[in-house]
Amino acid sequence: MSANELPKEFKRFVEHPGVRMPDRRRRIHSHGVGLAVSEWGEASARPILLAHGGFDFAATFSVFAPLLAQRGYRVVSFDQRGHGDSDHSALYSWSADLRDALSVLDSISQDPIPLIGHSKGGALLTQFSQAYPHRVSHLVNIDGMPSRRRSPDVADHERSRLLDREISDWLDHRRRLANRQRRAGPLEELARRRGKMNPRLTHDWLCFLVTQGARLDSNGWRWKLDPSMRFGGFGPWNPTWELEKLPGLTPPLLAMLATEAEELGWGTREKDLPPYLPRHAKVISFEQTGHFIHIERPHAVVEHILEFLE
């Protein structure tokens, strides 16, 4: 939501230092689901595609993306289905998110371009790069690298039962929440709620995020996120599956890792990755930095990315 669209008493919340609203907004359709697309930079500039993390939206890049645009790039991001201003869906899956990413990329360029993803978005674009390597020139994964976790030592028929239970639980959860709305409240209350998941982000930044990721109803602000979305609700999907395929990744990879533990963080450490890294991979750990590296350290992240791309 732009400053001009906000009621007067809320306009101060969008004046966070460094924030720049998208230069263009548009909408595309991916297999029947409408996706909100945001762009920063000249439309004729070299394109980059950004993918946000779970429970986020494109506006979380509102400081980071403009910095890339200032360096000569057309920076494109989108609200994933069920997030932000994109449509809600009857069901969600990792495969559907991959199809959506391809639809957005098709609307940008048919040539290979750099992809940058944070958290879930990083994992998503890593799998995308494995499936469509000819569409990717470089891959940047911001604290979304998979880590090695021991799989349960069970027989194959038991694995099938576990998967069946996971899918059944997810469908039951979706049915229970099909007609619910997220709880409304004052803008600063939603910011405090969000702060429980993002303890290292400033209150002012969290208030800005509310103006972008929530809508103002008659009884207060309400997050736009589909109420059925939940942690781990991307499945069936397991990060170790991607770790085992990682050595075959062909586009050059830059992995950025946080060192401060947070609820939304992936917990991957630099020492965990060498056995699985493909050729032409580089790993950078950001000391005393939490999961949202591109928000805490946007200038440093941009400089590393530009060096990697150039």
- Which pLDDT belongs to residue 176? 74
- Which pLDDT belongs to residue 242? 82
Using the Cα atoms of residue 186, residue 187, residue 192 and residue 196 in order, give the sign of their dihedral: positive
- Which pLDDT belongs to residue 154? 47
- Which pLDDT belongs to residue 88? 94
Q: What CA dihedral angle connects 89, 175, 118 and 278, to 10 degrees?
A: -100
- Which pLDDT belongs to residue 221? 97
The alpha-helical segments, DSSP class H, found in the chain are 64-70, 94-106, 120-131, 156-176, 187-195, 203-213, 239-245, 293-296, 298-309
Please, which residues have CB within 8 angstroms of residue 62's CB and are 6 or more apart in sequence? 19, 20, 21, 22, 208, 212
- Which pLDDT belongs to residue 158? 52
CB 68 within 8 Å of CB 47: no
pTM of the model: 0.91
Please, which residues have CB within 8 angstroms of residue 63's CB and are 6 or more apart in sequence? 16, 18, 19, 20, 295, 298
Q: Could you tell me if residue 232 is left (phi over 0), alpha (psi between -120 and 50 degrees) or otherwise beta?
A: left
Q: Which of 91, 99, 110 minimizes the C-alpha distance to 172?
A: 91
Q: What are the pLDDT tens digits along the chain (310 aa)?
A: 776 678 888 889 998 999 999 999 999 999 999 999 999 999 999 999 999 999 999 999 999 999 999 999 999 999 999 999 999 998 788 899 999 999 999 999 999 999 999 999 999 999 999 999 999 999 999 999 988 754 444 455 555 555 667 667 767 766 776 667 788 999 999 999 999 989 999 999 999 999 999 999 989 999 999 988 876 555 556 777 788 899 999 999 999 999 999 988 989 999 999 999 998 999 999 999 999 999 999 999 999 999 999 9
Any idea what the Cα angle at residue 204 is, between residues 202 and 205, rounded to 5°? 65
Buried b (16+ CB within 10 A) or exposed e, 128-163: bbbebeebbbbbbbbbbbbeeeeeeeeeeeeeeeee
- Which pLDDT belongs to residue 261? 92
- Which pLDDT belongs to residue 156? 52
- The C-alpha atoms of residue 67 and residue 64 are separated, in whole angstroms, by 5
- Which pLDDT belongs to residue 152? 46
The total number of residues shown for the chain amounts to 310
- The C-alpha atoms of residue 210 and residue 88 are separated, in whole angstroms, by 19
- Which pLDDT belongs to residue 116? 99
**β 33-40/73-78 pair status:** antiparallel
| Residue 79 burial (C-beta neighbours within 10 Å; 0-12, 13-18, 19+) | buried
- The C-alpha atoms of residue 156 and residue 173 are separated, in whole angstroms, by 26
| Residue 90 burial (C-beta neighbours within 10 Å; 0-12, 13-18, 19+) | exposed
CB 38 within 8 Å of CB 56: no
Domains of the chain: 3-148+231-309 (3.40.50.1820)
Please, which residues have CB within 8 angstroms of residue 47's CB and are 6 or more apart in sequence? 73, 74, 75, 76, 108, 109, 113
- Which pLDDT belongs to residue 7? 84
| Residue 282 burial (C-beta neighbours within 10 Å; 0-12, 13-18, 19+) | middle
Q: Which of 81, 159, 160, 88 minimizes the C-alpha distance to 124?
A: 81
